[in-house]
Chain A
Amino acid sequence: MTARTNMKSRTAQAATATGETILAVRQLKVVFDTPDGAVEAVKGVDLDVRAGETLAVVGESGSGKSQTMMAIMGLLAANGRASGSALYRDREMVGLPIKDLNTIRGDKITMIFQEPMTSLDPLYPIGRQIAEPIRHHRGGTAADARARVLELLELVGIPEPARRIDSYPHELSGGQRQRAMIAMALANEPDILIADEPTTALDVTIQAQILTLLQSLQKRFGMAVVLITHDLGVVRHVADRVVVMRRGEVVETGTTRAVFDAPKADYTRMLIDAEPSGEKAPPALDAPVILQGRKVRVDYKIAGGFLKKSGLFTAVHGADIHLRQGQTIGLVGESGSGKSTLGRALLKLTPSSGRVLFDGRDISGFDRKAMRPLRRDMQLVFQDPFGSLSPRQTVGEIITEGLYVHEPQLSKAERDARAVAALQEVGLDPTARNRYPHEFSGGQRQRIAIARAIILKPRLVVLDEPTSALDRSVQGQVIELLRGLQASHGLSYLFISHDLSVIRAMSDYVIVMQGGQIVEEGETAALFSNPREAYTRALLSAAYSR
């Protein structure tokens, strides 16, 4: 109990001192030693964190925003070196020995990460993991710590904390895991909470909840929050001040309002304007239906144990879909809603029941061999441009792979010519075909994946979250590319995404899925302006309220 009152008084102190700078970073540099020589990831960053404020550090991937914070916390990879200065209440953190650093981190400055599943140890119950920093920094008995953990779990809004305290990370949902991470970070009532993309891995509705939680906790404890994010919607909603970073340098600093209303740097303006825009006109009414799904249902067998019955899990409950030539259907839903599974089932990549008609032919009963000639007409683009390209093949080999199957008569030179044409079409330098995927950025890789799909001149492309792993500005370019390709080849898209702004810009028809069922569908404009279902409204408000 004494610890608790101590913390209260400290909290009060901090609250009165709002505005005082508690972390001053000056000329912070981070250099990584790589086989190609030293790479400067952070090139002299200055920033101040004031007590009790929310500071957003904004930038695209590779801007050095995370590495800045990692350097302050002494968490750089082994080949990284930090120089410069980071003063926390007059204590220099850069170059501090680990032992001294540990009196600050985990106690005064704590951190939460993007992916709560990987930042929690799967082998220990969450209660034990949350108790760890408390006992390390505060001492006390296990029983005291457990009481404190229960209090924290309640605070971060985990239902039934007394039961959940002994749960393992895999037993919690993504949102609950992130709440547990926050509880761990708050355990010692820090001065500064560094949140590195805390909501990126979560569904939109959960995102909103977590952000609200962070805000309320911040008010209550009077701590400063450093929010590292690429999502300007979040920034606008929660931050007091903004630091915009690009290529390891600070481009602009200011209050949120000032930065958003009158951005000084061109780069900031570009980021703000990068919200996907435009809309798609529906195809002609007499356009032929290219893909039709009737009562498509996907069941997964859950393997039984020794004394456990095997069960069935239904991922998609009888979905109907009509995709016309030149149309883009947006398929929206949270993770686990069955949207990707439906996409794969329609391409016959996953066993399903119900009927699928492609170009008027019933392909429901086709096996892999029968499907093979049809594959060239129906292509798939994946979310993760890092995982979807084989790391051991050159880009040329990757994109011509389809030709190898569907047009084996082509000579090597002809294949090469097709590869050049496809790369040019997606806006890449044709010399890229001799290089390997790891040499390209995320956006470029996604272009390669698109080139692989369109080289076969397909009629239908299923795009499974093609922009979700990309930065906003790159997203815009990929969307433009997809639109252009659709116009020039008359492609039909099935566009799967959880990002409503992208769906709105890309598709003319939207299907909303929840728990494997289609809950609502309709023309894009009508659905966005006048959603009927509560779930659709929740999605929309979560996405657009901020």
Chain B
Amino acid sequence: MSDLAQMPVLAPHAPETRGRSLFALAMRRFRRNRAAIAGCVVLALVALFSFVGPLFSSHSYDEVFPSYVSIAPSLEPRPGADTLQGAMENAVQRARLRLDAFQVEGRSFTATLAADQPIDPRATRYIDRANEFDDTVVKETLEDGRKLVVEGRVTREYFPFGTDSNGRDLLVRVMLGGQISIAVGFLASLVSLGIGVVYGATAGYVGGRLDNVMMRFVEILYSLPFVFLVVLLVVFFGRSFILIFLVIGAVEWLDMARIVRGQTLALKRREFVGAAESLGLSDWQIIRRHIIPNTIGPVVVFVTVIVPKVILLESFLSFLGLGVQAPLTSWGALIAEGANNIQSAPWLLIFPSAFFVVTLFALNFVGDGLRDALDPRDR
């Protein structure tokens, strides 16, 4: 994902003799790092799965299938052929007919009904009355109406990841959890990036008493227990999606502010800052035009560390029950639910945690790659 976020910077729309910026050079190094590129691809796939996947599924994340509670994952459609055969036999029996043949293909069925007298075509209603079958129509009438070949739709559902204890499709819920976890991860990181960079650069550049006051404030915030803070906020404002990433962002910016401040302290002794000062730029202009762009390397690297950290934090909150509210869900909430059912329904734990682990690995590989690309020690 982070490579997508940086794409606009790379896109050159300028004249032919455009030089290669430090960033472009770093990206060249990055592209040669196989693990990092693999990480990017995996992230893109996971994002695609989470955000585009639901469009291809007929189930909604809060749709309950009362007949399929805690069903194990399988690639076979539900209900199975045997169950359908039984249901059909029941229906046919109620219509006082005989079932000669029954076939199911995908989501349609063909049945041959037989009786001693000619059959009233309205007998198909008996079939429609069963939950499993719909839109039954007579296809063929044989033997002067004593035999009917009927066709219709079968309501069959696919649950490749199984269902949860409420009978909801786990596949769709994992997709939704991915959406929320990824969104929280990036939005909260952006919040922390925004606050942290501006705060840290200001404290570091202005220095002196203001720096002291600002950094002591950061330390006070550090000393507050995070969970306590979240519980308080949740109690005050109720649980909401926006609150979660604001809260996480508001906690994570502390690290960012410290890193940026350290960078700024080193940068402000550089001569180009002195040159800007002698050109008459104001403090804010210097921070904006010189300090912040030059902290970008360590900041980008730190963001790739923060994103997985935030996803973990959100999972932790959801695990405690302070995160997103049902029926919305996140990977953390899904994992918490899976952990409760680990013996009866292990797939509830396996699928969300597999996605979670893969995403975190990919993010860490990307982070490592970015760090190596932006901070080459041997040049």
Q: Please list the residues of chain A having a beta carbon within 8 angstroms of any beta carbon in chain B.
A: 35, 77-79, 347, 349, 368, 371-373, 375-376, 378-380, 382-384, 387-395, 401-402, 405-406, 431, 434-436, 438-439, 449, 452, 456
Helix, strand, loop or mixed for chain B's interface?
helix
For chains A and B in complex, what number of residue pairs have CB atoms within 8 angstroms? 91
Which of B272, B278, B378 sits near A79, CB closer than 8 Å? B378
Which of B15, B281, B293 sits near A401, CB closer than 8 Å? B281
CB contacts (< 8 Å) of A373 on chain B: these are 280
Asked, given contacts A35-B29, A394-B19, A436-B19, whether A389 binds B280 with beta carbons under 8 Å apart, the answer is no
Which of A77, A371, A382, A435 sits near B18, CB closer than 8 Å? A435
Judge whether B25 and A371 touch: CB under 8 Å. Answer: no
CB contacts (< 8 Å) of B378 on chain A: these are 77-79
Judge whether A349 and B277 touch: CB under 8 Å. Answer: yes
CB contacts (< 8 Å) of A456 on chain B: these are 279
Q: Is B271 an interface residue (CB 8 A)?
A: yes
Judge whether B281 and A435 touch: CB under 8 Å. Answer: no
CB contacts (< 8 Å) of A406 on chain B: these are 280
Asked, given contacts A379-B278, A392-B22, A393-B293, whether A387 binds B17 with beta carbons under 8 Å apart, the answer is no
| Smallest beta-carbon distance A458→chain B, Å | 10
9 A-B contact pairs sorted by A residue (CB < 8 Å): A368-B282, A376-B280, A378-B278, A387-B270, A395-B19, A401-B279, A405-B280, A434-B17, A435-B17
Asked, given contacts A79-B378, A402-B279, whether A387 binds B19 with beta carbons under 8 Å apart, the answer is no
Judge whether B275 and A449 touch: CB under 8 Å. Answer: yes
Q: Is B80 an interface residue (CB 8 A)?
A: no
Report B261-317 residues with CB < 8 Å from chain A CB.
270-272, 274-282, 285, 289-290, 293-294, 296
Judge whether A439 and B294 touch: CB under 8 Å. Answer: no
Q: Please list the residues of chain B having a beta carbon within 8 angstroms of any beta carbon in chain A.
A: 14-15, 17-23, 25, 28-29, 32, 270-272, 274-282, 285, 289-290, 293-294, 296, 378-379
Give complex CA distance A349, B281 in Å: 12
Judge whether B274 and A388 touch: CB under 8 Å. Answer: yes
Q: Chain A: which residue is nearest B24 at the CB level?
A: A436
Judge whether B274 and A380 touch: CB under 8 Å. Answer: yes
Which of A35, A379, A438 sits near B22, CB closer than 8 Å? A438
| Smallest beta-carbon distance A393→chain B, Å | 7
Q: Chain A: which residue is nearest B273 at the CB level?
A: A390
Judge whether A372 and B22 touch: CB under 8 Å. Answer: no
Which of A371, A390, A392, A434 sits near B15, CB closer than 8 Å? A434
CB contacts (< 8 Å) of B280 on chain A: these are 371-373, 375-376, 402, 405-406
Q: A375-B280, A379-B278, A394-B19 given; name 16 further pairs at CB < 8 Å.
A: A35-B28, A77-B378, A77-B379, A376-B280, A380-B278, A382-B274, A387-B272, A388-B271, A388-B274, A390-B289, A392-B293, A392-B294, A392-B296, A401-B279, A435-B17, A456-B279
CB contacts (< 8 Å) of A384 on chain B: these are 271
Q: Chain B: which residue is nearest A406 at the CB level?
A: B280
CB contacts (< 8 Å) of A452 on chain B: these are 275, 279
Give complex CA distance A436, B296 in Å: 16
| Smallest beta-carbon distance A326→chain B, Å | 21
Judge whether B290 and A375 touch: CB under 8 Å. Answer: no
CB contacts (< 8 Å) of A372 on chain B: these are 280, 282
Give complex CA distance A286, B296 in Å: 52
Give complex CA distance A525, B323 in Å: 80
Q: Chain B: which residue is nearest A391 at the CB level?
A: B22
Most buried by A among B15, B22, B278: B278
CB contacts (< 8 Å) of B271 on chain A: these are 382-384, 387-388
CB contacts (< 8 Å) of A368 on chain B: these are 282
